């Protein structure tokens, strides 16, 4: 387990809290989820008939089964042993009650990025193409489930950063409580480690970078009392921690199965 944990930590792709160009036509937005003790950034390897949920530090949180290729439910032994699926997800509190006192809580996972599906890896594709595969080709299969399944997946859609698209998206009440907004350069591939091509802003920071957009009031309701502006918050975090700010978005690891 320690060996796997080290590999998970070493191969994560993470973003940076950074400036986002206001005219960013080459960027895409992905909505993050408001974080609490029950909401975690996770990496999901689905292989050998098992569906594991790992934290961003590589700790195994859950060992279960799912309907996804290689996940152990509704598939032949051959498919479970030969298929492998890997997803970059957020683990959220489930609104679904337990089926009985002895059953476990249903896991609610929001899918941010596509790493591998069945026998195909997607890490070398640019973000815009990964989104196309995730949202237009595999979404229906990823979100399909039976009532008794112990885990549910839902794909979070991406949106263009063209101004009209941003106005439409940010003027509406978010579907989920947001912790932040992820900005991906459309050409970024899924590679280990931090990248300047993936940025992240707290919801209440958006008007500072996009003053021409009127955001929904939900984006502004959690502004900290001590907050003044974006740059001061970054400086304060750097001073307190002695390193880059610990405002990191959902991240994931890339672990390929043994051949």
User: Taking the chain (259 residues) in consecutive chunks of 10 residues, what is each chunk's mean pLDDT?
Assistant: 48 53 45 37 92 88 94 92 93 60 73 94 93 95 91 90 84 82 84 78 85 89 85 74 44 29
Phi, psi torsion values for 188, nearest 5 degrees: -75, 130
Q: Is 194 exposed, middle or buried (0-12, 13-18, 19+ CB in 10 A)?
A: middle
Contacts 24+ apart (CB under 8 A), 135-139: 138/114
Q: What is the pLDDT of residue 154?
A: 92
Model pLDDT, residue 12: 53
pLDDT of residue 251: 33
**Rg of the chain taking only CA atoms, in angstroms:** 19
Backbone angles phi, psi at 150, to 5 degrees: -80, -5
Q: Which string of DSSP letters, residue by residue, matches the chain?
A: -HHHHHHHHHT-EEEE-----TT-TTEEEEE-----TT-EEEEEEEETTEEEEEETTS-EEEEE-BSSTTSBSSS-HHHHHH-EEEEEEEEE---SPPSSTTSPPPEEEEEEEEEEETTEE-TTS-HHHHHHIIIIISHHHHH---TT-SEEEEEPPEEE-SHHHHHHHHTSPPSS--S-EEEEETT----SEEEEEEEEE-GGGHHHH-TTS---GGGGTT--TT---HHHHHHHHHHHHSSS-S-----B---PPP-
Give domain limits for the chain: 15-32+157-244, 38-95+105-155
Question: What pLDDT is attached to residue 94?
Answer: 62
C-alpha 20/C-alpha 239 separation (Å) is: 22
pLDDT at 129: 93
Predicted local confidence at residue 81, as pLDDT: 92
pLDDT confidence of residue 242: 60
Residue at token pair 């896991």:
107
Query: What is the distance between the alpha carbons of residues 231 and 236, in angstroms, rounded to a whole number?
Result: 9
| pLDDT at residue 30, as a whole number | 52
Q: Which CATH architecture has domain 38-95+105-155?
A: 2-Layer Sandwich (3.30)
Distance between CA atoms of residues 151 and 170, nearest Å: 29
């Amino acid at each position: 387990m320690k060996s796997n944990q080290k590999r998970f930590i070493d191969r994560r792709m993470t973003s940076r809290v950074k400036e986002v160009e206001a005219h960013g036509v080459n960027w895409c937005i992905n909505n993050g989820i408001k974080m609490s003790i029950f909401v975690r950034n996770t990496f999901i390897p689905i292989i050998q008939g098992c569906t594991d949920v790992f934290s961003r530090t590589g700790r195994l949180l859950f060992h279960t089964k799912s309907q996804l290729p290689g996940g152990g439910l509704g598939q032949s032994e051959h498919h479970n042993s030969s298929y492998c699926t890997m997803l970059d997800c957020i683990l959220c509190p489930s609104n679904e009650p337990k089926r009985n006192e002895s059953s476990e809580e249903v896991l609610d996972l929001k899918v941010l990025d596509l790493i591998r599906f069945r026998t195909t890896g997607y890490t070398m594709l640019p973000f815009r193409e990964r989104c196309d595969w995730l949202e237009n080709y595999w979404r229906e299969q990823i979100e399909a489930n039976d009532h008794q399944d112990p885990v549910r997946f839902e794909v979070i859609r991406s949106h263009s950063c063209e101004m009209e698209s941003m106005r439409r998206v940010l003027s509406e009440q978010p579907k989920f409580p947001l912790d932040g907004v992820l900005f991906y350069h459309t050409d970024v591939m899924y590679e280990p480690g931090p990248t300047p091509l993936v940025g992240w802003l707290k919801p209440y920071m958006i008007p500072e970078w996009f003053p021409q957009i009127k955001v929904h009031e939900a984006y502004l309701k959690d502004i900290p009392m001590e907050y003044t502006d974006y740059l001061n918050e970054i400086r304060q975090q750097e001073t307190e921690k002695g390193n880059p700010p610990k405002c990191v978005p959902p991240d994931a690891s890339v672990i390929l199965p043994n051949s």
